[in-house]
Amino acid sequence: MLKQVVLFCLAAGLCTGVSCRIVPGDGGDGGTTDPTHPTLDETDAVIAIVQPAGSVEVDVTATITDSGGDSVELEGQQSVSVNEVELTEAAGDEYTATIDASDTYTVAVREPTRGVERTTIDAPAEFVITSPADGGAASLGGFTLEWSEPDETFQVVIRLSQVLPGGTEVVDFGPFTDTGQRTFSAADLYDFGGGTDLVIAVTKINTLNRIDGFDSGELSVRVSATSTADPR
């Protein structure tokens, strides 16, 4: 519902912009806006939608902060939802939800003084790692990793990990443009060894640097695929 306002004029016929003031209405809930609590259009949000490999559900996490960087708690009729599922408060000043995976996600931000504003983002298509084949050989002297459904509108990050006698070794690469492949040199693989599986995780990311209804925001969707390789 659009914000209702009452215009007070200094003189009749003089309401041309400089002769009026605007007073926020009650937002439809019978009360007035709390001056100590920011409206959502004065706050910043980071919303991440994450689909693990092989999952038919996604995890949604949102953090909302004021201009000073302090966490903001939704109050009254304020709400944030994704694909019509409302996020609920969780530990650590986060709002979360688990929803069905989809090709697109729509974030709806409800601020009683402004109404509802929506932002839609496309999800990367589900994909698989094609080379090395799952469980196949990967040379520690260097190999090329390939995956399906390349799309240069998205970014990719890759994580290689391996459990070694001294602990778990993890190396991250990216982000870089999704071309469907990435070649690793011997130097990239220096910290890994033979004898145990090399775990490969590829994550495609679509990011919008805005969320309508907030002052500023970052909205991202991440879709992952994983496989293992035999390092030699």
- What integer pLDDT is reported at residue 36 of this predicted model? 56
Residues 6+ apart with CB under 8 A from 117: 108, 109, 111, 212, 213
Angle formed at CA 14 by CA 12 and CA 15, multiple of 5 degrees: 100
**Mean pLDDT in residue range 18-26:** 32
Could you report the per-residue pLDDT of 176-210, keeping only the tens digit for each?
Answer: 999 999 999 999 999 999 999 999 999 999 999 99
CATH 1.10.443 fits 129-231, yes or no: no
Could you give the residue range(s) of every CATH 2.60.40 domain in the chain? 37-122, 129-231
Given a cut of 50, whether residue 25 has pLDDT beyond it is no
The answer to whether 222 and 50 are in contact (CB under 8 A) is yes
Of residues 19 and 71, more confidence is placed in: 71
Q: Say what percent of the chain tops pLDDT 90.
A: 80
**Mean pLDDT in residue range 21-38:** 45
Radius of gyration in angstroms for the set of CA atoms belonging to the chain, rounded to a whole number: 24
Given a cut of 50, whether residue 134 has pLDDT beyond it is yes
Q: How confident is the model at residue 29 (pLDDT cuts 50, 70, 90)?
A: very low
Structure tokens at 65: 């902060």
Q: How confident is the model at residue 152 (pLDDT cuts 50, 70, 90)?
A: very high
Record the pTM: 0.81
The CATH classification of domain 37-122, taken from the options 1.10.10, 1.10.3470, 3.40.50, 2.60.40 = 2.60.40
Could you report the per-residue pLDDT of 53-101, keeping only the tens digit for each?
Answer: 889 999 999 999 999 999 999 999 999 999 999 999 998 789 999 999 9
Q: How confident is the model at residue 19 (pLDDT cuts 50, 70, 90)?
A: very low
Q: Which helix (H) or strand (E) holds 231?
A: strand 216-231
